[in-house]
Amino acid sequence: MNIFQKLFARKQKEAAPQVRSFNGSDLSRLNSDWLATGSSADAELHGNIKTLRNRCRELERNNDYVRRYFKLVQNNVLGHCGVGLQMKIKERTKKDGVWVERYDRVANNIIEDSWEEWGKKANCTIAMNLTWKDCQKLILRSVVRDGAVLIRKHYPQDRKFKFALEPIEIDRLDVDYNTTGKGGAVTKMGIAYDMNSKVVGYWLLRDHPGELYQPKSFGKWQEFVPAEQIFHIYDPERIGQSTGIPWLISSMVRLKNLGAYEEAEVIASRIGAAKMGFLVPNATATGGYVGQDDGRGNKFMDVEPGSIETLPRGYDFKSFDPTHPSTAFKDFVKATLRGISAGLGVSYVSLANDLESVNYSSIRAGLLEEREEWKTCQEWLISWFITPVFEEWLSMAAVAGALNNNDNGLTLPAAKLAKWNQPEWKPRRWDWVDPLKDLQASVLAVEKGFKSRRSIISEGGGDIEDVFGDLNADEELADEYGLDFDADSQEQANSQQQTPDAPDDVAAEDQASMKE
């Protein structure tokens, strides 16, 4: 009996189904069409990147929601004036026998003024057709739409700062050029790597592959540009990813289908509004309808407001009652846009511009989450694009002796370049729905010592020196015109302090009368 029991238990164990550790890896009739490959990031990109870019550009041209998304990115990441610069150079000075650090206002002003001067059209780009603010907007939009953008450095000796930029559309990167070299060096998607996977250069096409004109010579013409001359701006999502992918990839199918659905509904509604009904021959009809003809064999009747028509003999009128636009149209569009908004990282309210059912709490929660997304984009743009450009510009401007003040003849020496490289970037910040509460919280934080005026002004994207300078100028101008705003402010503060006491006094009188 023991032998039979052991054999039976062994058979049961062999026949027991294998239990998988993860339901997501199970193969069944419900997920047999769930295809997934183990390809590398570049292997997935190589066959799809051109189509993705072209389709995103088509959506940008023709889809209202995509154009709205690009405006949201541009307005929230950069704002109307781009990312501002405030220098934080400090110097050590002796005060009362103690060494203290103070901001070097002279050096800070020289670099800030020189940076602003370089940002003009005549200096910023090699083609002299874009300002620094234009470059920021163009680079950001290109990365969102195309996934990446290239910027080539130029060092024109006939310009003051000896440094200029050349934005290059990512299509000129020869992504079809893949080869292997000696010692483990490879070229993937037009980017050359050494044996340590460090980028050493880029293979660029002479012309855009879709340019209006084409070169007379047959075949494509490449140029190898060392990595030291190129800024490659993109947002990597996987290790080993050579270039970026458009930010619309997870939402582009829904965006296309939604656009096609809206078009179909509009056409169906137009047809429904244009047709009133049909003339149908009945059993008494003896011949064809002999009414008006449009010249192509189509019979019609003129209908005017308030008119009563007599039907032709032998014909009945059958009205046309279309069901478009469908009653589910609104809810379907809203549900689709919510999924699209989730993929794009923005709120539905912002993307659809729909404030119909929004209250203070919901819009506050949505804006807080969305603004964190914009702050992340700002930090990425600063670290990948703005800071590298500034450091290269600062180095070239210092060597060229262009960091100077014409008023006092002071020039910042290139030997102290590490000291001068102390920027603090001021990206766009937002006003709150209830600015009074925000202001009161800031005032309380300063009074209790939790924050400084400098930090609060910086959080708002301002410069404390500019603010204090404006305040000083306002006071001087007010004195010139004989105006005293301090007296009015004091009277208003006194009135506000006295107003809250009234309810307490009334309550005390009520309590005294109740006791009596």
pLDDT of residue 124: 96
Integer angstrom CA distances of residue 515 from 435, 503, 504, 508: 44, 18, 17, 11
Report the alpha-carbon distance of residue 27 to residue 301 in Å, rounded.
Answer: 63
- The verdict on pTM exceeding 0.85 is no
* Dihedral sign from CA coordinates of 233, 238, 239, 243: negative
Interval 246-276: pLDDT, tens: 999 999 999 999 999 999 888 888 877 776 7
Report the alpha-carbon distance of residue 452 to residue 460 in Å, rounded.
Answer: 13
In this structure, what token pair is assigned to residue 471?
């305040």
- In the DSSP assignment, the letter for residue 398 is H
Percentage of residues of the chain with pLDDT beyond 90: 45
Percentage of residues of the chain with pLDDT beyond 70: 84
Asked whether the beta carbons of 108 and 88 are under 8 A apart, the reply is yes
Report the alpha-carbon distance of residue 373 to residue 379 in Å, rounded.
Answer: 10
pLDDT of residue 218: 53
Of 226 and 100, more confident: 226
Q: Which residues contact 375 (CB under 8 A, 6 or more apart)?
A: 427
Interval 343-379: pLDDT, tens: 999 988 889 888 877 777 777 777 888 888 999 999 9
Per-residue pLDDT averaged across 465-473, rounded? 81
Interval 46-96: pLDDT, tens: 889 999 999 999 999 999 999 999 999 999 999 988 999 989 888 887 777
pLDDT of residue 116: 95
- pLDDT greater than 90 at residue 18: no
pLDDT of residue 219: 57
- pLDDT class for 491, splitting at 50, 70, 90? low
pLDDT of residue 317: 77
Radius of gyration over every alpha carbon of the chain, rounded to an integer in angstroms = 35
- pLDDT class for 435, splitting at 50, 70, 90? confident
> Domain residue spans in the chain?
278-320
In this structure, what token pair is assigned to residue 31?
């997920």
Task: Give the chain's mean pLDDT.
Answer: 83
Q: Using alpha carbons only, what angle is made at residue 146 by residues 145 and 152, rounded to the nearest 5 degrees?
A: 120
pLDDT of residue 11: 59
Question: What residues pair up with 188 in beta bridges, in sequence order?
Answer: 191
Per-residue pLDDT averaged across 382-389, rounded? 96
Of 14 and 178, more confident: 178
Report the alpha-carbon distance of residue 441 to residue 392 in Å, rounded.
Answer: 40
Contacts made by residues 123-130, CB under 8 angstroms, sequence distance 24+: 123/159, 123/160, 123/161, 123/164, 124/164, 124/165, 125/164, 125/165, 125/166, 125/167, 126/154, 126/156, 126/164, 126/165, 126/166, 127/166, 130/167
- pLDDT greater than 50 at residue 504: no
- pLDDT greater than 60 at residue 20: no
pLDDT of residue 501: 45
293 sits in which H/E element:
strand 292-293
How is 166-214 classified by DSSP, letter by letter? EEEEGGGB-TT--EE-GGG-EEETTEEE-TTS-EEEEEEESS-TT-SS-
- pLDDT greater than 50 at residue 449: yes
Please tell me the number of Cα atoms within 13 Å of 239 on its side-chain side: 1
* Closest by CA position to 152, among listed 84, 214, 202, 85: 202
Q: Using alpha carbons only, what angle is made at residue 460 by residues 456 and 464, rounded to the nearest 5 degrees?
A: 60
